[in-house]
Structure 1
Amino acid sequence: MLRMFSTINGQVERVEKPESGSWLCLSEPTDAELASVASETGIDLADLRAPLDDEERSRVDVEDDYTMIIVDIPTVEERGGRDWYETIPLSIIVTETLIVTVCMQDTPVLHPFMEGTIRGFNTFMRSRFILQILYRNATMYLRYLRIIDRESDKLELKLRHSMHNREIMMLMELSKTLVYFTTSLKSNEIVMEKLTTLQRIKQYQDDEDLLDDVITENKQAIEMANIYSGVLANMTDAFASIVSNNMNNVMRIFTIISITLSVPTLIFSMYGMNFQEGMLGMPFTDKPWGFALVVLLSVVLSALVTWFLTRSRNFR
Structure 2
Amino acid sequence: MLQIYKSMESGPLQELTLKTLEKGAWINIVDPTPYELKVVSNLTEVDSDFLRSALDDEERSHTDVEDDSVMVLTNVAICRGQDSYDVLPLAIIVTEEYIITVCLEETPVMAEFNERTAKLFRTYKKTRFLFQILYKSMTFYLRYLRQISKLSDEIEEQLRHDMKNSEILRLLELQKGLTYFNAAIRSNGAVLDKLMRMRNNPQLTPILKAYDEDEDLLEDVIIENKQAKEMVEMYSKILARMADTFTSIIANNQNLVMKFLAAMTIIIAIPTVVSSFFGMNVPVPFADDGHGFFYVMIIAFGISVSGAYALWKKDMF
What's the offset of the Cα at 1:227?
1.1
User: Is the contact made by 1:112 and 1:118 (CA closer than 8 Å) also made in structure 2?
Assistant: no
**Partners of 1:299 and 1:25 in 2: how far apart?**
83
AA aligned to 1:43 is V
Residue 61 of structure 2 is aligned to residue 61 of structure 1: no
User: Which residues of 2 match residues 106-125 of structure 1 at below 5 A?
Assistant: 106-117=106-117, 120-125=120-125
* Residue 240 of structure 1, aligned match among 240, 247, 254: 247
Q: CA deviation at 1:269?
A: 1.6
Read off the aligned partner of 1:287 and give its amino acid letter: D
Deviation at 1:42, TM superposition (A): 1.4
Measured at CA, do residues 119 and 248 of structure 1 come closer, stay the same or move farther in structure 2, by a change above 3 Å?
farther
**Other structure's SS at 1:310 match:** helix
Distance 2:112 2:77 in 1: 16
2:49 corresponds in structure 1 to 46
- Which residue, 21, 24, 37 being the options, matches 2:24? 21
Aligned counterpart in structure 2 of residue 214 of structure 1, from 221, 228, 235: 221
Task: State the shift of 1:39 in Å.
Answer: 1.1
**1:165-204 alignment runs, 5 A limit:** 165-198=165-198, 199=201, 200=204, 201-204=208-211
Letter in 2 for 1:14: E
Kindly report structure 1 stretches of 4+ aligned residues shifted beyond 3 Å.
none
Amino acid at match of 1:225: V
Q: Distance in 1 between matches of 2:120 and 2:211?
A: 12
What is the distance in 2 between the residues matched to 1:28 and 1:7? 24
Residue 84 of structure 1 is matched in structure 2 by 84
- CA drift of 1:154 comes to 1.1
The structure-2 alpha-carbon separation of the partners of 1:118 and 1:269, relative to structure 1 and needing over 3 Å to count, comes to: farther
Question: Once superposed, what is the RMSD of the aligned Cα atoms?
Answer: 1.5
Q: TM-score, normalised by structure 1?
A: 0.93
Output the CA distance in 2 between the equivalents of 1:30 and 1:186.
Answer: 31
Question: Whole-Å Cα distance in 2 between the matches of residues 76 and 105 of structure 1?
Answer: 12
Q: SS of the counterpart of 1:25? A: strand
Q: How many residues align?
A: 307
Q: Does 1:94 align with 2:94?
A: yes
Aligned residue in 1 for 2:304: 302
> AA paired with 2:28?
C
Q: Secondary structure at the match of 2:106?
A: coil
Could you tell me how far apart the structure 1 residues matched to 2:197 and 2:16 are?
Answer: 33
1:14 CA displacement: 1.6
Look up the SS of the partner of 1:20 in the other structure: coil
- The alpha-carbon deviation at position 44 of structure 1 amounts to 1.9
Alpha-carbon deviation of 1:118?
Answer: 6.1
Does structure 2 retain, via aligned residues, the 8 Å contact 1:12–1:116? Answer: no
Greater shift in the superposed pair: 212-221 or 5-14: 5-14
The share of aligned pairs that are identical, in percent, is 43
> What CA distance in whole angstroms lies between the structure 2 residues aligned with 1:239 and 1:119?
50
- 118-127 vs 254-263, which moves further: 118-127
Deviation at 1:237, TM superposition (A): 1.0
SS at match of 1:284: coil
Q: Which moved more, 1:150-159 or 1:88-97?
A: 150-159
Query: Which sections of structure 2, spanning at least 5 residues, go unmatched?
Result: none
Q: Distance in 1 between matches of 2:245 and 2:22?
A: 59
> What is aligned with 1:268?
275
In structure 2, how many angstroms separate the alpha carbons of the residues matched to 1:269 and 1:247?
32
